[in-house]
Every structure is written in C-alpha cells, then in structure tokens.
Structure 1
Amino acid sequence: MWSVDALLHLRTFVAVAEARSFSRAAEELMIGQPLLSRRVKALEVEIGGELFDRSHRQIEVTELGRTLLDPARDLLGRADRLESFIRSAQGLDTVLLALPHDCDPRAIARLITAATNAGSRLQVEFLTALERETAVRDGAAAVTVVRVPIDLVGYTVELGLGSTSASTDRDRPVHLADLRRHRRDRSPARRILLSAEDDIPLFREPFLKSAAQAGLVVSQIEVENSTTSAIAAVFASADLLVCTRAFARRNGLAWSPLADRSIRRTYQVQVAPAHRSNARLAELASELAPLIGSALDAGSSRRKTDDGEPNRHTLTEAWR
C-alpha cells in the first residue's frame, strides 16, 4: 500500500492536520491548493473515511484522522531517515556524525577541518545516548558513538562532580559516602544531577546502586533533560553535576574526580550497517579517531604517546 504516492498523501495529510488550514498547508508544501485537496481526497478514499471536518470555519481533524496522525508522523520520519541513509550510502550526502551534547566545541571544529582535509564533508549532530543508537540503527546517522559496558575496549571517560564551590579540592577524589546527609544536619541534602547523556540503564542503574551502598537517598539523584538546565541548576544551588573535567572547566565549574573508578563513561564508535564495508569510511574513521576521543574528553583516559598526545592506534580500537 505504501507507495511513493501514498507517502506524499500522508505528508500532505500531516501538514494540513498541523496547520488546520488547506491554504497554509499548501503554502508550506509549496504546491497548489487544488493538488493538495486531491491528495487528501485520495488518501480518504484509500483509508475509507473522512480525515477532516470541513463544516467549521477552521477545519478539524476527525476521530479517524487523529487515529492516523501519530502513525503517519512515525512512518514519514522513518521514510526521511531512510532517504537520508540512501543518499549517504550513495555518496550523495555528507557523512553525518552523531555525538553527545557535552562534547568540546573546539575538538569538533578540528574534526570538521580534518574531515575536509581528508576530502570528506562532515556534519555533526548532537543527540542523547538513546537518540544516537536509534539514529545509527535507522540510518539517520552514518557514524555515532554508543555507550558500552566498562569492560569493553573503547573510549574511556573519567567522571567527577562539578560544582560552584570555590573550596572544592580538585585533586582529592570525592567518595559518594561524603555526600550523605547526617542526622543532625538540618540543611537539605545536596542533589547529584545526571545529564541526559547518563540517563540510560547501562549507567543509571549501577550509579544508583553505588549511591545506595554509600548511604545516599534516592531523592538526592535527579536527571536533568538538557545540559543547559543542568548547568543552570548547579549555579543556582549547591547541586553537583556528574560530568567530565573538561566540561566543568568549559562551563566555569569547580570539579573533583569520583573516587569510584567504575563510575565512568565508555564509548565505542558504531557505523550504520550498510557502511561497514565502506573502505573510504573506514579510512576516515582511522583519521578522525583521536579527535573524536578529544571531543568526548576521553584523551586523558587513554594511553598517550611520548609527546603527550592520544595514541592513534589505541584510540582507533574504539572503532568497531
């Protein structure tokens, strides 16, 4: 059933449903209103019922239309990702690299420059860990970094606690037990914030277990959906943010490493399935591997060369 024409009809239906106007939807799609109306009518014939109530001044989506709307959006999103994937596979589009939101902008600039010098156009998108897995699986991203268990070879990123406390001892590791609220302490317990990057079972569940073993209460651990809101919360309170040393420094936060060395991020690079045999992409991966490590703030957690730079061979191990 879902031919190219059917996808066009669905796209038209979604545009009208969101605009609540045939004329505005036609302008948005840059087509004539008669053509738009024919597409909607053809879809209604195919579906077997009216999708819009045209009896009012502003059109309304019918119950049948409301039932169709979310599946239509989902199908169109998948079709768009597939189209992007095909263009990329054919070499007609840029190489899309998906990275975490808290990457170092300067390292990303070096990534883009290095890719350009290697004869490739690199586009970087910032997604959460879960979004990156979906993007590479669906083909929306050609390459991404995924979170993996800490016992796997990959980019290892040291974590600590960022705060606004000027008295923070940056060299002394922090034990989670140090953050317990004592019985005689009437002040609120300090919250420990996790960013969206760490809001995944692979990290969150072991972290909560370690926190519980250290005597912290569940209410002390909270997730901030955006990196910006997490930083703002720290500046507005005594909250602590789980983050990397470089991220804290870039945002003006004091930082102390976590004593529990198992609390860290481990990444591996994942390539979209259809690209895994692409020799050109594999070569680009080898070139960009050290810079991706730097963007993730993983450089200090990997072996170094004699001049202090991340070891190219070691970092390339993260590409699988």
Structure 2
Amino acid sequence: MQSCQHALPQGKFAGHNVAADLLDEALVRFEPAPYVTCLSLGPAGAVVTSGWDREVQLTERIAKDLKHTINEQWIYPPVDDPAELLNQAVRTPPGRSTSRLEQWSRSRCEPRSVGGEVRMELRHLRYFVAVAEECHFGRAADRLHIAQPALSHQIKQLEAELGVELLTRTTRKVQLTPAGQRYLDRARAVLTSVDAASVEAGRVARGDVGRVAIGFTGSATYELLPSLARVLRRDFPGIELDLKGEMLTPDQVTALVEETLDIGFLRPPVREPGLVVQVLRREPLIAVLPASHPLTDRDTVRLADLRDEPFICYPSRHRSVVYDAVFDACQQAGFVPSVVQEVGETSTLVSFVAGGLGVALVPASVRHLQITGSQYRPLAGTTREVQLAAATRADDLSPHVAKVLSRAHSLLGGPR
C-alpha cells in the first residue's frame, strides 16, 4: 500500500475543485467506505493513492447514483460518462493533467465577476430560497432532491461570491442574517420574474398571445369581420386584434408585403410571389336596387333587365376582381354597363343605390349590410361567382397568426 500525503477523515475533504467536491460528496453519502483509506491533493485534484480497483468500483457506484447531481450541479455541458470522469480523478497520479476535468476545475475556481459585479446561476437562488424558507438544510435538500452536503457547498459558494454571510448556522437551527433577509426578498422577486417569463414564453410559443392585424375586403367587412371577431375574442382572449375593414385587394396585398397586415381576406387572383393564398369560399353576384325600383317586386332579377340602368361600381383604376366580374357578367348578358359613379367603399356604394343614383352588382355577402332605401335581389340565369380568400406571408410562421387563420377556415367551412 502506498503512503498518502494527506490522510483525511471520510467526508471531511475540503478541496477547491470539482474532483474533490465529487469525492467528498461520495464519502459522505456512502459511509462507511473502509476501502477508501486516504486521499492526496495534487495539481490534478483529489487522488486516491491506494486500493485502485476498489476505488474505481466506488467511483462507478458514485456516478450511477449521483449522475443527475453531477450533471446538474458541477459539469456543463453534461458528461456522457460521469463514472469515467471520476475514474480519471482517482487514477491520475499527482502532477499529471486530467485534461477536461482539470481544465474545468480550474475555470470553475476562477472568479466569476466582471467589473465588480457578481455573476451567479439561477440554481444558487433556488437553493438559497429553499434553505431560507425551510430554515433547515436537510429539509431543503429533500425539497430540492439533492444531497445535503452538495446543497451546503452551493450555499457556501454563493456566500463566497457575494462576499457576505447570508445564513447563520448552528447545530440546532439555520437563521437568516439581515443581509440574507434582503437577499431573500430580491431572490424571490427574480425567481418569480423568471418563472413568469417562462410561462409567457410558453404562451407565445403556443400562439395563445400576440397581435394580429387583419384586413377585410369591402363585402367581407359586413359578414366575416363581426362573426370572426366574436369567435376570436371568445376563444383567444390573449390575442390582440387589429381589424381593418373596407380594404381593396390591391391595398391589402401592399400592406401584407410591407408587414402592416398579417392576414388579408381578399378577392383573388393575387400575383404577389411572397404570399400564400387559400380560397375560403365562392359566392354569387346579387343585384342592389333602390327600394322604389319596379324590379323589387320580383323575387329574382334577370341581368338583362338592368341593361338601361345607370351602374355604380368599384373603382376601375385598380381593376378589382368584383369590377371585372360585374363587367364580365353584363357582357355575357349582352350589354356593357353604363357606369355613373365609382366608389371604393361597399357601404358608400350601397348608400348611393339607396339614394336612387343607380343600381349595382355586389357579392352575396354584402346583403348583411342593411341600409334603408336599398333592396337586394338574387340574379336569375347568372352563374358568375367571386372568391373570398385568406392571404398571408409565406415566411410568417407566427403560431398566433396560424391559430387565427385556422379559426377563420373553420368558420367558413375550410379552404376550398
């Protein structure tokens, strides 16, 4: 048996590196360990100088039982084989490098402050709060699911880094010092904030919170907007809605590209390559007539009967889908409409009709807009339809945007 440089009682090894801490922790937890006879402290750390085979068995036993503690409290990044790391500590003669173990131990012992400001880890705060609340290291260790010596070591390390005594310890009780009480208040506040941030981050990742700007084309403003808003406020109260009605499709496309809109409910086709467009539904055109018009006596109106009427239309300069659909339908009926007024807002268009300025063709969903003096009638013998679609940016992967879009699909029967 080799002689040892420093014979130390089991569980009383006071080292300043990771190897010493691990071995000391093991000796305390696995007393008695008669085949560990002595330890020596060399440049490589704690080294067992006798009984090699049996000491290797001990370290394997330590590693198996303390794997979580080793990885969580001492080694970062976690080691693949804690047993081998410990075996290096007991097998390496004094004066010989243990590579990763020694490098990590030395870096661990270096001061961890910048410009006088102490840097510690959240685990130190959690450990301290547990001890302060339990006023007992044993109960705190049980609460934290770690060994009591390891907890004591961590608290001492925290006090050393702060340069103040946080706790007074006796054989009968643990008490907070005045500095410890103040530190406890701040530590609780920090941990509460960190926990709240974790919860908030989870809510964002799930799409439970966020802000969504949504544009609606004129006709969708009076049917889809109110129904979708009610559903979203009920199902996703954490999502802030920014709703913009009466937006022409070209304006929505521009806003989507410029990222001032997240979702646009518009009329395809859309030829912007950076957007994803999903058709939600198709709807026919219907006639809007002044309430005093003779054709309101009929249940349906033939488009050809409107050939001599003045028409109110959406703007021609944008070449909107509805504008083109109206002209195509009229041409199929054998005439070109006589346009006397162009307006961009659906509500204004219907108001002009109610005022007797002319007639109009609009998507069927506009009938939800009720303005005194106007009447809606289905068209007989006309099959022209317009589509309503949802457009989003192809690179927008926001979970809250995806949730809103999914709910809109459900509300309208899904993409078609």
Residue 236 (structure 1) aligned with residue 362 (structure 2): no
SS at the partner of 1:163?
strand
**1:83-119 CA deviation, whole Å, 9 max, x = no partner?**
xxxxx99x99620010023435575344234323323
Cα drift, residue 160 of structure 1 = 0.6
Q: 1:201 to 1:123 in 2, by over 3 A?
A: closer
Does the CA-based 8 Å contact 2:309-2:338 persist in structure 1? no
The whole-number CA distance in structure 2 between the counterparts of 1:165 and 1:135 is 37
Task: Indicate whether 1:178 and 2:305 are aligned.
Answer: yes
Structure 2 residue 269 is the aligned partner of structure 1 residue 115:
no
Which residue of the other structure, out of 248, 251, 276, is the alignment partner of 2:371? 251
Unaligned ranges ≥5, structure 1: 1-87, 181-188, 294-314
Return the match for 1:159 from 285, 301, 315.
Answer: 285
1:269 aligns with 2:390: yes
Contact residue 195 and residue 242 of structure 1 kept, 8 A: no
C-alpha deviations, 1:111-151, integer Å up to 9, x for none?
Answer: 234323323111101211110111112211011123225xx
The structure having more radius of gyration, on CA atoms, is 2
- Which residue identity is paired with 1:177? A
User: What is the correspondence of 1:1-320 to structure 2 with a 5 Å cutoff?
Assistant: 94-105=211-222, 108-116=225-233, 117-118=235-236, 119-126=238-245, 127-148=247-268, 153-166=279-292, 167=294, 168-169=296-297, 171-172=299-300, 174-180=301-307, 189-196=308-315, 200-220=319-339, 222-237=341-356, 239-245=358-364, 247-248=366-367, 250-252=370-372, 253-259=374-380, 261-275=382-396, 277-291=397-411, 293=412, 315-317=413-415
Give the CA deviation at 1:238.
5.6
Q: Which runs of 5 or more residues in structure 2 are unaligned?
A: 1-203, 270-277
Residue 251 of structure 1 and its aligned partner are, at CA, apart by: 1.8
Distance in 1 (CA, whole Å) between partners of 2:305 and 2:387 is 25
Contact 1:198 1:204 in 2 (8 A): no
Q: Which amino acid aligns with 1:160?
A: I
Q: Structure 1 residues 199, 240: CA separation in 2 closer, same or farther (over 3 Å shift)?
A: farther
Amino acid at match of 2:375: A
Check whether the contact 1:135–1:141 (CA below 8 A) recurs between aligned residues.
yes
Q: Deviations over 1:21-79 (max 9, x none)?
A: xxxxxxxxxxxxxxxxxxxxxxxxxxxxxxxxxxxxxxxxxxxxxxxxxxxxxxxxxxx
Checking the alignment, whether the CA contact within 8 Å between 1:196 and 1:227 is kept in structure 2 is: no
Which amino acid counterpart does residue 285 of structure 1 have in structure 2?
A: L
**Over aligned residues, Cα RMSD in angstroms?**
3.4
Percent of aligned pairs with the same amino acid: 18
Kept in 2, the 8 Å contact 1:170–1:255? The answer is: no
Cα distance between partner residues in 2 of 1:106 and 1:209? 25
Q: 1:255 to 1:128 in 2, by over 3 A?
A: same
CA contact (8 A) 2:213 2:263 kept: yes
In the aligned structure 2, how far is the partner of 1:207 from the partner of 1:106? 21
Aligned length: 196
Task: Give secondary structure in 2 for the equivalent of 1:171.
Answer: coil
Q: Deviations over 1:178-214 (max 9, x none)?
A: 223xxxxxxxx31122235995354433532432343
AA in 2 matched with 1:229? T
